[in-house]
Structure 1
């Protein structure tokens, strides 16, 4: 991408993120680094996809934002809704594409050098060195870049717009597809799937309009390639659009299995972690908290003196207020009066947080798209390492 375009475009992108407060300061710095990594590519494709994803994703986030804020709770106890995105969230969505973009930029640079060297030497076999435009059966890394943004856009649209569905979502990892609260990891709805398809379609359309496809003008020329047929264009658009939707579904499966969803017992709403991090759950859950933590809780509550003494730990002297519900008792703990926790795990194993799931989905689906293209085109997957 030309510097005369890249520099002001990056400046505008950073300014918009700052003025709209769509990113935290760390997120803005991460977005700047990501934009630079995309802009150094000689094609406009990577940077355009980054901008389209950022603008479209931000727009989807702000659709009926006030309503969405009432459907979930933030981990700090305030209304839910998507706040400014952090640097971790930026890298989770774009790091794979950044790496692939830099690798492909280097590939094009080396290929161009080889083509010029062959032309100067009068080598008629220079066409076998590859093309500088995107040909059918061409560079797999380009497929990976487009697939990354098609998947993360589909996931963003599905999450931000699917939550507005009139009906409750259904848990995709449940054999019975049981209904779950809005915002549950792994919860899907027809509205969410339709929104995901729309997000993927927006990115793929932008990609096709931006790609320097080999055409009749480049056929037979230096660094050129065979012209794309109409059927080939349809396969590229349809395949990548559906792949983006599949990425959104895969994100739901990973989230439903390996990311715990925490629900607030009082309201029945899902509790969202700030910046996509894990949400803490109450310790009164019957045995998953370490013994030391249980002993400390028993001491502070003033009700576990006997149990503590059985463990060989001396209990502190009780103060003047022995009633654990007395407002003057500063060691009392929050409770409904029936010792039930205020937060419970709705579903999922607590192995990953939301950012981990997003990164694994983006990376896995990008590599998967390249693998499928490698098989369909008959191009070895090892070609991505030809640097």
Structure 2
């Protein structure tokens, strides 16, 4: 990407994140590094996909934001809703694409140097041909999947129908915001998110044409059927990414529910929500959780127990529920991954998977993605 375009574009992107409070300070720095990694690519494609994902994802987050905030609870006891995204969330969605973009940029520059001795060799002649670079497929697949997941989670929660747990054999109904919970609205939104990214990719991808076929560095031109095949394949793959994310979240990410309201408790920045360890076969509420049951603040706070009032400083008080029941319980999932782990694992796995499928379909060796296999 030309520096005259990349530098002001990165500055605008960071300023927008700052002014809209969509990223934390560390998140803005992570976004800056990510944007630079995408902008050094000779093509506009990686940077455009990053910008489209950021803008579209931010827009989806703000759709009926006040309504969504009341559907879940924050781990600190307030209403839920998406706060500024952290650097971990930025890297979870874009680190794989950044690495693939840098690797492909290196390959393109090596090819450009090899073509420099030819009179008609130029950067424009290094187009994307049918059966071309697998790394390009991985970059597009990454953003198609994370966009589909973002749209699915941000818009699916607004469905008029309760979500159903995708990892349950009976597809049981679960509270809104449950990891692994899916709705028809969410699935449709995921497909829309994938389509947005793939459409942007097709508009900026320098595909080989009959005009470039005879030039040095030019590749096999695309036919209309081949274009449609790539568009359909990447769109479906992105949609499957949101489904895979739901499966991983439903299995390996713990969902915590507030007993009093029945709402899902969300962690700050996608991290785990704490639940006190089991004691005597039952989970007991932690001091922080029990404090949420208090009426008032500070040392003068008191709580109601079976119609009586107790001073919070009194020792050996009875449980606020009277029977040592916890105020938070695990709805589903094993506590192996947090939301950021799931997002990164899905993005990485689906990107590599897309390259593997393209390798098989095109008959291009998968080792061609390695730096030493520049052709």
- Return the alpha-carbon distance in structure 1 between the equivalents of residues 282 and 110 of structure 2: 56
Aligned in 2, Cα 1:10/1:283: closer, same or farther, shift over 3 Å?
same
2:226 corresponding residue in structure 1: 232
Give secondary structure in 2 for the equivalent of 1:151: helix
Q: Distance in 2 between matches of 1:91 and 1:23?
A: 12
Q: 1:221 to 1:76 in 2, by over 3 A?
A: same
SS in structure 2 of the partner of residue 182 of structure 1: coil
Residues 105-184 of structure 1: pairs in structure 2 closer than 5 A: 105-117=105-117, 119=118, 132-184=126-178
Structure 1 residues without counterparts, runs of 5 or longer: 298-323
Q: 2:325 aligns with which of 323, 333, 340?
A: 340
Structure 1 segments of 4 or more deviating over 3 A?
282-289, 328-334
Structure 2 CA distance, aligned partners of 1:156 and 1:330? Answer: 47
1:220 aligns with 2:214: yes
1:111 Cα deviation from its structure 2 partner: 1.1
Quote the offset at 1:112 in angstroms: 1.2
Show CA shifts across 1:208-254 (max 9, x none): 00000001220111211121100000001000000000000000000
Could you tell me whether the CA contact under 8 Å between 2:282 and 2:325 is conserved in 1?
no
- 1:148, 1:191 → 2: CA distance? 22
Q: Shift of residue 284 of structure 1? A: 5.1
SS at match of 1:77: coil
Please name the residue that 2:313 is paired with: 329
> Structure 2 length normalisation: TM-score?
0.89
Q: Does 1:243 align with 2:237?
A: yes
Whether the aligned pair in 2 keeps the contact of 1:171 and 1:256 (CA below 8 Å) is yes
Give how far 1:116 is off: 2.5
Alpha carbons of 1:384 and 1:328: their partners in 2 closer, same or farther (altered >3 Å)?
Answer: closer
Distance 1:176 1:284 in 2: 28
Match of 1:92 in 2: 92
SS in 1 for 2:311: coil
Alignment of 1:177-216 (within 5 A): 177-216=171-210
Question: Which secondary structure state, in structure 1, belongs to the residue aligned with residue 66 of structure 2?
Answer: helix
Counting only pairs closer than 5 Å after superposition, residues 299-338 of structure 1 correspond to structure 2 as 326-327=310-311, 329-331=313-315, 332=317, 335-338=320-323
Q: 2:272 aligns with which of 260, 275, 278?
A: 278
Unaligned segments of structure 2, at least 5 residues: 288-307
**Bigger CA radius of gyration:** 1
1:48-59 correspondence to structure 2 within 5 Å: 48-59=48-59
Greater Cα shift, 277-286 or 193-202: 277-286
What SS is found at the alignment partner of 1:218?
helix
Which stretch has the larger CA shift, 327-336 or 204-213? Answer: 327-336
